[in-house]
Amino acid sequence: MSLTHYMEMAGIQDPRQRADIADVMEEVSGFTTLLSRTHIMRLEVEAALDRALDTDSPHLADIELLGHGIGHAMGIRGGLSIRSPSGDVTDETRAAWPDGPAAFDLMLANAREQLERSMLRGPTDAEVPDLKANGWDPASAKRSAENRAESERQLAERLDNDPQYWNRLRDVVQARYMSLEVIDMLTQALLDRGRTLAEVVTGRESIRAFADCMPSAGIHATLTEAAHRNREKSWEPNDIFDIDALSIAVPYCDIVVTERYASHVLHAAHLPRWMKTEVVPRLKDLTESLDRQ
């Protein structure tokens, strides 16, 4: 799973529907999660800079792509622990547990699984008022996606008003992605190295080359460009969620199941072959692929 799945689940209002979907997701994934898109992008920026500047970022090897639960999906290290006013007392509690350390480990493991289950399923209707009173806002992810969808609608309108950009749509999409999504990460990474943007970005070709070093950016640009080429396209928050999820799934998973159109767009761009990922449009294809393993 990825953080996008948790965001989409938060937008489902019916607790029973969330619970049913969560049961399937737990069975399929075991709460194994990918690092968040933002963290993956940051790591890709670091790796792209290492390549462009012939430098080395040894800390990149210390970060696991796959982990367990929503904490890993959010880029948070560590897990459930026992704390007191003096700090983390997990080890002390384990040593003093009445039924022994093994029983403590089992209790903590069960608590972790229940926490993961609750985070995915979300609250019951009875729990919602208290959560909202304490600042819980299940619509925040969808609002963010709606803002990004509106930005794409505005771009589509500008493209309609300036047809000259249609021949350079890929450049437009890539440059916009870099300026909106990547520039802050890139600036910070350059500051950390004592280098300047001018050493990396010297023109249109350099922007394209840098973006091409980021696998998630390649998927994002390809799907976004294809969507804009459909002049009848009406951008919705779910389009943003889908592109975000695929932009990290395709480069970093072995097999990806997605809807038929996205599969066609990605294969037409030869990205699954380049990234050595099997991208299929049907669950039947997934089971057949797994049977061949």
Query: Mind listing the pLDDT tens digit for each residue in 129-165?
Result: 999 999 989 889 899 999 999 999 999 999 999 888 8
Query: Is residue 123 situated within a structural domain?
Result: no
Quote the percentage of the chain above a pLDDT of 90. 67
Q: Is residue 45 included in any domain, yes or no?
A: no
How confident is the model at residue 61, as a pLDDT? 62
pLDDT digits (tens, 9 = 90+) for 31-73: 999 999 999 999 999 999 988 888 877 666 677 899 999 999 9
According to the model, what pLDDT value does residue 102 have? Answer: 95
The two tokens of residue 264 are 């066609």
* Domain membership flag for residue 56: no
Inside any domain, residue 113: no
Asked if residue 169 is part of any domain, the answer here is: yes
Tell whether 96 is covered by a domain.
no
Q: Which domain holds residue 242?
A: 142-292
Question: Which pLDDT does position 203 carry in this prediction?
Answer: 78
Is 215 contained in some domain? yes
Task: Give the global pTM.
Answer: 0.87
pLDDT given for residue 55 in this prediction: 82
Q: Is residue 191 assigned to a domain?
A: yes
